[in-house]
Amino acid sequence: MSAPEIHVQVSPDLALFVPHGRRGGATALAVDGVSTLGHVVESLGVPLTEVGALVVDGREVPVSHVPAHGESVEVRPVPRPQQVPGAPLRFLLDVHLGTLARRLRLLGVDTAYESTDIGDPALAARSAAERRVMLSRDRGLLRRRELWAGAYIYSTRPEDQLHDVLDRFDPELNPWSRCTACNGVLRQATKDEVADQLERGTQASYDVFAQCRACGRAYWKGAHHDQLEAIVEGALSRRARRG
């Protein structure tokens, strides 16, 4: 007698997680009558953070469903924009996503970032304690059960990473309101208040300043402002087009 098995169809949007030999059609998988469907899907390589629905023989089931012989399973991607329980929407990024962290902060999105590798258990614990969505390219980290919520970052290019996060979560944008260094909230500041951080040429050329309430860092429209403005305008335009 052959072993019980199910047939699993993974959405093309999630194909990169699946071994090449199992892409492009339904995959027959042996089941033991004990393991949950969530476990089976993860064994294929798909993090549950990327799964929007599990559909068995036409009906949606929870990840705790224990599959039975002969069932047909569809693994669908997370719908966009993704709704995350709890408010406000906040993120936590691992050590490899520093540029993305700075760009999200530039747009006013509450973004915590670990500039050193503190390890997966500590990152997952912080995600849970602060109710932050963990953003990472580390599939093992995204499989940790204690995460509050998580999302895989599909690209290695910061521009694409930013567009993907904004498209997936549609966070509220409030550009120029956060410190790109520490995520603190900015306030308007006088030249005298930040004078100790300014070179003589800067003091002579600029009159409008902001300062981080948390770390004290000063900001002004310096040499790189046009590049930053382009990032902000691009994000706002994309959001407006999405409606």
Convert 12-35 to b/e letters by CB count within 10 Å (16 or more is b).
eebeebbeeebeeeebebebeeee
Q: Output the pLDDT for position 204.
A: 87
When pLDDT is averaged across residues 43-60 and rounded to a whole number, the result is 96
CA nearest neighbour of 53 among 17, 10, 19, 23: 10
Number of alpha carbons in the 13 Å side-chain half-sphere of residue 10: 28
Residue 1 has pLDDT above 60, yes or no: no
- The 3-state secondary structure of 122-146 reads HHHHHHHHHCCEEEECCHHHHCCCC
Q: Output the pLDDT for position 242.
A: 79
Q: Output the pLDDT for position 22.
A: 74
Question: pLDDT tens digit string along 149-208?
Answer: 999 999 999 999 999 999 999 999 999 999 999 999 999 999 999 999 998 888 888 999
Q: Could you tell me the pLDDT band of residue 23, with boundaries at 50, 70 and 90?
A: confident
**Phi then psi for 139, rounded to 5 degrees?**
-65, -35
Q: DSSP letter string over 8-50?
A: EEE-GGGGGGS-GGG-SS-EEEE--SSS-HHHHHHHTT--GGG
pTM of the model: 0.92
The residue among 207 and 135 whose pLDDT is bigger is 135
